[in-house]
């Protein structure tokens, strides 16, 4: 079974954009009964400490050349300030292989710029922070007809999201990974969307 979620980390990454997702995958607190645990592995271009946009300092678990398609359930690409840089070319090539292999690729905010820059959004439905900005910053991008003005979009094994939609992003990833019961995921989303505690009690009832 493919049970590893690879989280790409790098200097300036927008750590909050994957906060919901990391917490639920790492804790497994609302997973289906009997669901095999998933392992989050952080990876980067080096084993040097990275500093996120929020100032968190962390050492990657592995270097990017240790990525294995054999156990990859998903590749998560957070936003950040450097996605137009060549430094991300290696992970973008891995993303292309994942997309071709049927492995989930989930990109939010600036990471969608990285995908667009190398042509991976030209023939798949997707979203980003802004269509006009995407076209301006990525000259090779020709996927305008596939762009959707939505917080998050799923096209087969590709998930993209705006940087202001980390909740929607997380819901789509969790649904694709199929680790929550559908009704638990619905209540989880409503809990964080409405702040109504009744949804917490719904979750507690559903996971008994």
User: Which of left, alpha, beta for 195 (phi over 0: left; psi -120 to 50: alpha)?
Assistant: left
Structure tokens at 4: 């590893």
Instruction: For residues 152 and 162, give the distance between their C-alpha atoms in angstroms, rounded to a whole number.
Output: 6
Cα–Cα distance for residue pair 207/26, rounded to 1 Å: 17
Place of tokens 């060549």: 86
Of the CA atoms within 13 Å of residue 152, those in its CB half-sphere come to: 20
Q: How far apart are the first and last CA of the chain?
A: 25
Q: Which residue has the tokens 């996971």?
A: 207
Give the number of residues written for the chain: 208
Q: Which residues are catalytic?
A: 109
């Amino acid at each position: 079974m493919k049970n590893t979620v690879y989280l790409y980390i790098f200097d300036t990454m927008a750590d909050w954009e994957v906060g919901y997702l990391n917490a639920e995958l790492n804790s497994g607190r609302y997973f289906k009964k009997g669901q095999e645990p998933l392992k989050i592995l952080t990876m980067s271009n080096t084993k040097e400490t990275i500093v996120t946009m929020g100032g968190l300092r962390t050492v990657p678990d592995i270097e990017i050349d240790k990525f294995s398609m054999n156990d990859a359930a998903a590749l998560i690409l957070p936003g950040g300030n450097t996605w137009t840089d060549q430094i991300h070319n290696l992970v973008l090539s891995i993303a292309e292989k994942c997309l071709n292999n049927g492995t989930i690729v989930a990109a939010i905010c600036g990471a969608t710029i990285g995908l667009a820059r190398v042509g991976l959004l030209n023939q798949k439905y997707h979203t980003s922070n802004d269509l006009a900005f995407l076209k301006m910053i990525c000259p090779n991008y020709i996927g305008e007809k596939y762009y959707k003005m939505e917080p998050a979009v799923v096209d087969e094994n590709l998930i993209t999201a705006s940087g202001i939609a980390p909740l929607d992003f997380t819901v789509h990833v969790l649904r694709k990974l199929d680790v929550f019961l559908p009704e638990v995921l619905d209540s989880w989303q409503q809990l964080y969307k409405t702040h109504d505690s009744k949804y917490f009690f719904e979750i507690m009832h559903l996971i008994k």
